[in-house]
Structure 1
């Protein structure tokens, strides 16, 4: 069976007919583009587009753009060119990968699946990089033919083929491709493996890549089995909608079960996997911390926080305690840190407040109205009893960080209301 016939079989097992092809202009992605264009001749229902990411890293990058444009014109495939800016403070490889997928996410259509040209040798490199990081069976599963990365559905139809097979197809079909000079720079981990280590292993063991692929498959199967066994437990303790994890029985589990369930929960939320050390810190410093504490742990660009017997995955929030916003009636006010818009208007009998699709009513006042996000005094309830505001927050089961993100309404210097939760039952004129 030829290369194109095998790829055709894979596509026929796909419900998708709309594909966005990641095109670097190198050998692998050029072959993928040509294969899809050839298959489309007999399957005109295939909807193809390509995207090329300009990373601004090579002096030849503009030439690569022109090459990709010529290829796509030759095959009558629409091409998207996207220039990206890499995030500072990350390694070049990681920053380029993040920028690449973020750019693709901006352009991919709902019905499209991303196609990448990863092949057998790429799989071996990915396996070894995971081994270098000390990954478990999930990481050693390497790449799957289908997966999701950065919330993108990805299909890798060339994963079972060697680079030699792709090269042979390119030569037979007179394809031209570019060579990225950075592929020879062994300061990059993948290049070091590709250029220095793996050739010697392949020279010693001819079927080395196939053996690595079998090991990756075995790891993937073990991970799948583990996930199936833990799924009922995960459904019992995890709330995906609210991104929380119930810790009621956590201390009764073995360490292995604690680690596995936390990793599985984070995976379902499409979060980066914590290292062994990070997981130990999360458990000891957050989950098993004293009950009167409200600890937190940063993981990537998110924060893990504990409140009572529940672990929360949240954004990293700005400190709003010094914020003081004067209110202008009948004028929408944009709240800080993506908290939305709030609007105050006066009726004959009350001040109406609209926030997050809810309407609240407060007593009339002649005092200036303002919004703040910090208050630590007493509040008088409807029965005339004064309580510390902390007790009221606890009574409403509001986590500590959410208290600091709830608009607090002040009449003059007097606390009047925590919008959506409670108010101070004191005449506004006092």
Structure 2
């Protein structure tokens, strides 16, 4: 079966009709775009768009944009151009990939599937990179033709074809494509494999890529089986995606513990920790002293433990020194906490934040919003004044969330933690 016929058959299996095509302008994505364009001629019910990510890494990046614009204009396919800024902290390759998918997330529509031009050679390279990192079944598992990443459905219809097959098709169709000069730079790990190592293996073993694909698929299926066998236990621990209950966790074997944690990370589509990182997480966070509130940094995210539960959170900004004056009927809170609204009635001020609201007496004092307080308060009319730390504990509020809840002050006196408690007297006796 030729390339186009195979492509057409695969699209029949997806039943989807709306596709966003990732277009770099290189050989692989150019072939993918033209296959979609050819399909559109005989099946006009498909709705296609393309997106090109301008990373700004090459002096030729602007000319690549022009090439993609010309290509899409030729086939009358709408094109999105998105310039991105790369975070280099985890390396240029990882940073470019993260920026690329974040940009695509902003544009993809709910009914669209992202189509990428991954092919069989990419599969081999990815397998070897995972092998180099010492990955287990999860990392060695095959790239699938259909999967989900960052909440987006992804379709890879060229995965069973080699790059050589794509190049033959492109030359037969008289296609033109751009060449990224960075592909020759073997300082990058993928390029080193592609240019220095894998050609020798393919020369020795002609069907090497297909053998690697089978091995990767075996790893994927074994991981799926493990997940299936552990599913009931996993659901006992994880009823909310970003929380993992630790009851009975110490009774499991070490392999079972790490397998359950990997399922948790996979569910949240977060960076998969290495074996060493998982061991550190288990020893230093899960089995830390009961009174501790340990945490573990993983990329831009943090795993935290509180009251026999793990939480996945962002690396929040420190808001303890923030003090905002409320001079209008609403105020924008820092660090993506949303807005706090103020409504005046004849008897009260009503403060609203997220799904919470609180009624407070009217005042002529300055109204301030803070995120930090220490000392004793009276939060219930029939109870004595108590340390605010104890109140937070009774309410089950994790320590890192306590400094992210807006505290309303009239002058220097705390009035309320919105959604959690009101203060009934302000005497410092």
TM-score by length of 2: 0.94
Task: Determine helix, strand or coil for the equivalent of 2:64.
Answer: helix
- Per-residue CA shift, 1:114-165, capped at 9, x if unaligned? 1111111111111101100111111111411112223221111011111121
C-alpha change, 1:33 and 1:295, in structure 2 (3 Å) is same
Contact 1:364/1:428, CA 8 A, preserved across alignment: no
- Specify the alignment match of 2:329 in structure 1: 331
- Specify the alignment match of 1:376 in structure 2: 374
- Specify the alignment match of 1:147 in structure 2: 147
Contact 1:416/1:424, CA 8 A, preserved across alignment: yes
Equivalent-residue separation in structure 1 for 2:73 and 2:250 (angstroms): 61
Task: Determine helix, strand or coil for the equivalent of 1:239.
Answer: coil
Equivalent-residue separation in structure 1 for 2:340 and 2:386 (angstroms): 27
C-alpha change, 1:73 and 1:349, in structure 2 (3 Å) is closer
Contact 1:335/1:341, CA 8 A, preserved across alignment: yes
Task: Determine helix, strand or coil for the equivalent of 2:201.
Answer: helix
Equivalent-residue separation in structure 1 for 2:137 and 2:30 (angstroms): 32
Equivalent-residue separation in structure 1 for 2:59 and 2:316 (angstroms): 39
- Specify the alignment match of 2:52 in structure 1: 52
Equivalent-residue separation in structure 2 for 1:76 and 1:96 (angstroms): 28
Corresponding position: 1:297 with 2:296 = yes
Query: Shift in Å at residue 26 of structure 1?
Result: 1.7
Structure 1 residues not aligned, in runs of 5+: none
C-alpha change, 1:383 and 1:98, in structure 2 (3 Å) is same
- Per-residue CA shift, 1:158-216, capped at 9, x if unaligned? 11111121112112222122222221111111111111101111111111111000001
C-alpha change, 1:189 and 1:417, in structure 2 (3 Å) is same
Task: Determine helix, strand or coil for the equivalent of 2:14.
Answer: coil
Query: Shift in Å at residue 364 of structure 1?
Result: 4.3
Q: Which sits farther off after the overlay, 204-213 or 167-176?
A: 167-176
| Aligned pairs for 1:172-321 within 5 A | 172-240=172-240, 243-321=242-320
TM-score by length of 1: 0.94
Equivalent-residue separation in structure 2 for 1:281 and 1:37 (angstroms): 50
Equivalent-residue separation in structure 1 for 2:359 and 2:311 (angstroms): 31
- Specify the alignment match of 1:361 in structure 2: 359
| Aligned pairs for 1:162-181 within 5 A | 162-181=162-181
- Number of positions where the alignment pairs a residue of Structure 1 with one of Structure 2: 428
- Specify the alignment match of 1:9 in structure 2: 9
C-alpha change, 1:59 and 1:384, in structure 2 (3 Å) is closer
Contact 2:21/2:51, CA 8 A, preserved across alignment: yes
Equivalent-residue separation in structure 2 for 1:175 and 1:84 (angstroms): 28
Task: Determine helix, strand or coil for the equivalent of 1:291.
Answer: coil
Equivalent-residue separation in structure 2 for 1:157 and 1:34 (angstroms): 13
- Per-residue CA shift, 1:215-269, capped at 9, x if unaligned? 011001001111111111111111335x111111111111111111111011101
Structure 2 residues not aligned, in runs of 5+: none
Query: Shift in Å at residue 429 of structure 1?
Result: 12
Contact 2:115/2:155, CA 8 A, preserved across alignment: yes
Equivalent-residue separation in structure 2 for 1:429 and 1:170 (angstroms): 80
Corresponding position: 1:75 with 2:103 = no
- Per-residue CA shift, 1:323-365, capped at 9, x if unaligned? 223344x521222222222234454433322222433122445
- Specify the alignment match of 2:339 in structure 1: 341
Corresponding position: 1:119 with 2:87 = no
C-alpha change, 1:23 and 1:379, in structure 2 (3 Å) is same
Query: Shift in Å at residue 83 of structure 1?
Result: 2.2
Task: Determine helix, strand or coil for the equivalent of 1:353.
Answer: strand
Equivalent-residue separation in structure 1 for 2:84 and 2:344 (angstroms): 48
